[in-house]
Amino acid sequence: MAAATAGGVDSALQAAEVLESILSGSVGPEGRQVLCTKPTGDVLFSRDGGRLLEALNVEHPVARMIVTCVSMNQNVTGDGAKTFIILLCDLLRGLKAITEKERGSFGGSIPSQERHWKNCCQWKYISQAILTFQAHVLDYIMAQYLRKHFLTIFSFSGEEKKVCRSSLESLLDAYFCGRVGRNNQKFISQLTCDYFYKCLQHEDGKDEMIDLVDEYFLELCTAVTGLPVSSSKIISGFVIHRDFSVYCPADGDMRIIIVTEPIQPALSTSGSELLVNSEAQFQASHIWITEKTKTIMKDLQSKGIKLLLSSVKQQDAVIYYAKQNGISVVEYIPSEEISLLCRIIALSPFIPSWATSECHISDAALVTFCRPILLNSRRYVHLGLLSTHSFIPHCLVLCGPVQGLTDQHIRAFHGAFKVLRQVFKVLYLSYKVQRSNQNETSNSINSKENKQSHHLIEVYRALFEKQHLDSVLMSKDNPSRTQSHLRGTPDLVLSSIESENDIPSTTLTQTQKIKEDFESLLCSYPNKIGIVDTKEPLVAINCSCNGDFLTDVPDDHLSVIEQTCKMSKTAIDVTSKEVFQDTSQSYCTSFIQAGSVLPVGGHFEILLHYYLLDYSRQCQKPEVSMISSLIANALLSLPKTLYKAKRGNKSFCHVYLRTMHALQAKQGVAGSPAGLESVACKYQLLTSVLHCLTKLLTFDLVISINKQPQKTGDEESEEDE
Amino acid sequence: MSRIKAKTPSLCTCELLTKEIISKSLSGLRQIVASCYGPSGRLKQLHNGVGGSICTTSSSSLLINNLSVTHPILKILTTSVQNHVSHFSDCGLFTAIFCCHLIENFQRLNLSSATVVKVSNHLLSLCTDYLNSETCGCRISVDFSNMKTLRCLVQSIVTSKPACLLSKKEADHISTLILKAFLLTIPEKAKDFAILGKTLIIPLKGERVMDSTVLPGILIEMPEVQLMTFSIKKLPSNALKVALFCITMSGEISDPGEGTLVVTYGVSLENAVVDQLLNLGNQLISDHVDIVVCQKVIHPVLKQYLNQHHIITIDRVGISLMEPLCEMTGTQPIGSLNLISSTSYGYVKDLCSTNFGSKPYFHLIPNDSTVCTLLLCNRNETAWNELKLACQTAQHVLKLTIREPLALLGGGCTETHLASFLSHKVISVPECILKANDCTQPEYKIVANAFCNALQAVACSLEHDKGKLLADRKYGHFWSVQPDFPPDVKWQDLVSKCGCGLHSNQEELNWCLLQSIHFAPQNYPLQQSTNSLKDHLTLDCFTAKLHGLQVAVETASLILDLSCVIEDEN
Residue B266: Cβ within 10 Å count: 8
Chain B positions in Cβ-Cβ contact with residue A56 (cut-off 8 Å)? 9-10, 12, 566
Chain B CA closest to residue A264:
B257
Whether B72 contacts chain A with CB within 8 A:
yes
Whole-number Å distance between alpha carbons of B5 and A703: 20
The answer to whether the Cβ–Cβ distance between A286 and B337 falls below 8 Å is: yes
Q: Which string of b and e fits A390-410 if b means at least 16 CB within 10 Å?
A: bbbbbbbbbbbbbbbbbbbbb
Chain A positions in Cβ-Cβ contact with residue B83 (cut-off 8 Å)? 225-226, 401-403
| Beta strands, E only, A401-445 | 427-435
The DSSP secondary structure of A592-616, one letter per residue, reads EPTTEEEESSSHHHHHHHHHHHHHH
Whole-number Å distance between alpha carbons of A656 and A650: 10
Chain B positions in Cβ-Cβ contact with residue A57 (cut-off 8 Å)? 7-10, 568, 570
Question: Which secondary structure element, helix H or strand E, spans residue A220, and what is its range?
Answer: helix A217-220
Mean pLDDT, rounded, for A66-86: 88
Assign A357 a pLDDT band (cuts: 50, 70, 90).
Answer: low
Q: Tell me the range of A432-441, A603-612, B550-559 where mean pLDDT is highest.
A: B550-559
**What are the residues facing A391 on neighbouring strands?**
A200
Encode pLDDT of A284-310 as tens digits: 888 888 888 898 889 888 888 899 999
Encode pLDDT of A385-399 as tens digits: 887 768 889 999 999
Chain B positions in Cβ-Cβ contact with residue A282 (cut-off 8 Å)? 267, 269, 272
Query: Which of B554, B555, B562, B565 to mutate against chain A (most A CBs within 10 Å)?
Result: B554
The answer to whether the Cβ–Cβ distance between B558 and A45 falls below 8 Å is: yes
Mean pLDDT, rounded, for B491-511: 81
Whole-number Å distance between alpha carbons of A300 and A248: 15
What are the strands of the beta sheet with A221-225, ordered from one edge? A221-225, A394-400, A233-236
Q: Which residue has the higher pLDDT, B172 or B238?
A: B172
Give me the residue from A37, A278, A315 closest to B567, CB to CB. A37
Give me the residue from A32, A282, A286 closest to B563, CB to CB. A32
By CB atoms closer than 10 A (0-12, 13-18, 19+), residue A700 is middle
The answer to whether the Cβ–Cβ distance between B269 and A183 falls below 8 Å is: no
> Would you give the distance in Å from CA A568 to the centre of its chain?
27
Encode pLDDT of A588-597 as tens digits: 667 788 888 8
The answer to whether the Cβ–Cβ distance between B564 and A273 falls below 8 Å is: no
Chain A positions in Cβ-Cβ contact with residue B332 (cut-off 8 Å)? 320, 323-324
Residue type at position A353 = S
Mean pLDDT, rounded, for A423-438: 68
pLDDT over threshold 60, residue A482: no
Give me the residue from B254, B554, B566 closest to A34, CB to CB. B566
The DSSP secondary structure of B409-452, one letter per residue, reads ETTTHHHHHHHHHHHHHTTS--HHHHHHHT--HHHHHHHHHHHH
Mean pLDDT, rounded, for A676-686: 88
By CB atoms closer than 10 A (0-12, 13-18, 19+), residue A574 is exposed
The answer to whether the Cβ–Cβ distance between A57 and B8 falls below 8 Å is: yes
The answer to whether the Cβ–Cβ distance between B565 and A35 falls below 8 Å is: yes
Whole-number Å distance between alpha carbons of B16 and B19: 5
pLDDT over threshold 90, residue B131: yes
Whether A52 contacts chain B with CB within 8 A:
yes
Whether B10 contacts chain A with CB within 8 A:
yes
Give me the residue from A228, A274, A282 closest to B550, CB to CB. A228
Encode pLDDT of B201-258 as tens digits: 999 888 889 999 999 999 998 876 655 555 555 555 678 889 999 998 988 887 777 7
Q: Which residue has the higher pLDDT, A30 or B166?
A: B166
Whether B350 contacts chain A with CB within 8 A:
no
Q: Check if the beta carbon of residue A330 is closer than 8 Å to that of residue A242.
A: yes
> SS3 for B166?
coil
pLDDT over threshold 70, residue A276: yes
Q: Check if the beta carbon of residue B181 is closer than 8 Å to that of residue B372.
A: yes
pTM of structure: 0.83
Query: Which of B95, B336, B551 to mutate against chain A (most A CBs within 10 Å)?
Result: B336
Write the CA distances from A523 to A446, A526, A588, integer angstroms: 16, 5, 20
Q: How far B70 CA sits from the closest chain A CA (Å)?
A: 9
Q: Check if the beta carbon of residue A424 is closer than 8 Å to that of residue A209.
A: no
Write the CA distances from A106 to A109, A115, A273, A447, integer angstroms: 7, 11, 87, 48
Q: Check if the beta carbon of residue B157 is closer than 8 Å to that of residue B396.
A: no
Whether B60 contacts chain A with CB within 8 A:
no
The answer to whether the Cβ–Cβ distance between B114 and A274 falls below 8 Å is: no
| The pLDDT of residue A464 | 44
Q: What ranges in A360-401 are assigned the alpha helix state H?
A: none
The answer to whether the Cβ–Cβ distance between B267 and A282 falls below 8 Å is: yes
Whole-number Å distance between alpha carbons of B219 and B221: 7
Residues 6+ apart with CB under 8 A from A233: A191, A397
Chain B positions in Cβ-Cβ contact with residue A32 (cut-off 8 Å)? 113, 561-563
Whole-number Å distance between alpha carbons of B242 and B293: 7
Whether A181 contacts chain B with CB within 8 A:
yes
Encode pLDDT of B330-354 as tens digits: 888 998 888 888 888 998 888 888 8
Average pLDDT of chain A is 73
Query: Which of A21, A27, A36, A37 to mutate against chain B (most B CBs within 10 Å)?
Result: A37
Mean pLDDT, rounded, for B125-145: 89
| The pLDDT of residue A130 | 85
Whole-number Å distance between alpha carbons of B470 and B54: 37
Encode pLDDT of B285-320 as tens digits: 999 888 999 999 999 999 889 988 888 889 899 999
The answer to whether the Cβ–Cβ distance between B563 and A36 falls below 8 Å is: no
Give me the percent of chain B exceeding a pLDDT of 90: 40
Residues 6+ apart with CB under 8 A from A342: A258, A348, A349
Write the CA distances from A16 to A22, A342, A698, B56, integer angstroms: 10, 45, 16, 54
Residue A524: Cβ within 10 Å count: 9
Chain B positions in Cβ-Cβ contact with residue A225 (cut-off 8 Å)? 83
The DSSP letter of residue B461 is T
3-state secondary structure A512-564: HHHHHHHHHHHHHCCCCCCCCCCCHHHHHHHHHHHCCCCCCCCHHHHHHHHHH
Residue type at position A579 = V
Mean pLDDT, rounded, for A487-503: 36
Whole-number Å distance between alpha carbons of A316 and A592: 59
| The pLDDT of residue A381 | 93
Q: Check if the beta carbon of residue A375 is closer than 8 Å to that of residue A395.
A: no
Q: How many residues does chain B have?
A: 570
Write the CA distances from B86 to A28, A376, B29, integer angstroms: 35, 9, 20
| The pLDDT of residue B213 | 93
Q: Check if the beta carbon of residue B488 is closer than 8 Å to that of residue B540.
A: no
Chain B positions in Cβ-Cβ contact with residue A38 (cut-off 8 Å)? 568, 570
pLDDT over threshold 70, residue B531: no
Q: How many residues does chain A have?
A: 721
> SS3 for A168?
helix
Q: How far B63 CA sits from the closest chain A CA (Å)?
A: 17
Assign A321 a pLDDT band (cuts: 50, 70, 90).
Answer: very high
Residues 287-346 of A with CB under 8 A from B: 287, 290-291, 293-294, 315-321, 323-324
Chain A CA closest to residue B336:
A317
The DSSP secondary structure of A308-345, one letter per residue, reads EEESSPPPHHHHHHHHHTT-EEE----HHHHHHHHHHH
The answer to whether the Cβ–Cβ distance between A57 and B75 falls below 8 Å is: no
Query: Which of A19, A267, A270, A279 to mutate against chain B (most B CBs within 10 Å)?
Result: A279
Q: How far A166 CA sits from the closest chain B CA (Å)?
A: 19
Encode pLDDT of B5-24 as tens digits: 667 788 888 766 677 878 88
**Strands B350-356 and B359-365, bridge-based pairing:** antiparallel
**What are the residues facing A592 on neighbouring strands?**
A427
Q: What ranges in A107-184 are assigned the alpha helix state H?
A: 112-133, 139-144, 165-177
Query: Which of B69, B78, B82, B83 to mutate against chain A (most A CBs within 10 Å)?
Result: B83
> Would you give the distance in Å from CA A134 to the centre of its chain?
18
**What are the residues facing B364 on neighbouring strands?**
B218, B351
Q: How far A189 CA sits from the closest chain B CA (Å)?
A: 16
Encode pLDDT of A179-229 as tens digits: 888 888 889 999 999 999 998 888 888 888 899 899 999 999 999 998 999
**Strands B406-409 and B539-541, bridge-based pairing:** antiparallel
Nearest to B329 by CA among B269, B279, B386, B369: B369
Query: Which of A35, A57, A287 to mutate against chain B (most B CBs within 10 Å)?
Result: A35
Chain A CA closest to residue B259:
A270
Encode pLDDT of B254-278 as tens digits: 777 777 888 888 888 888 889 999 9
Q: How far B465 CA sits from the closest chain A CA (Å)?
A: 33
What are the strands of the beta sheet with A596-599, ordered from one edge? A151-152, A596-599, A676-678
Mean pLDDT, rounded, for A701-715: 64
Assign A359 a pLDDT band (cuts: 50, 70, 90).
Answer: low
Whether B432 contacts chain A with CB within 8 A:
no
Residues 593-632 of A with CB under 8 A from B: none
Q: Which residue has the higher pLDDT, B147 or A526?
A: B147
Chain A positions in Cβ-Cβ contact with residue B14 (cut-off 8 Å)? 25
Write the CA distances from B355 to B81, B200, B202, integer angstroms: 41, 17, 13
Q: Check if the beta carbon of residue A31 is closer than 8 Å to that of residue A178.
A: yes
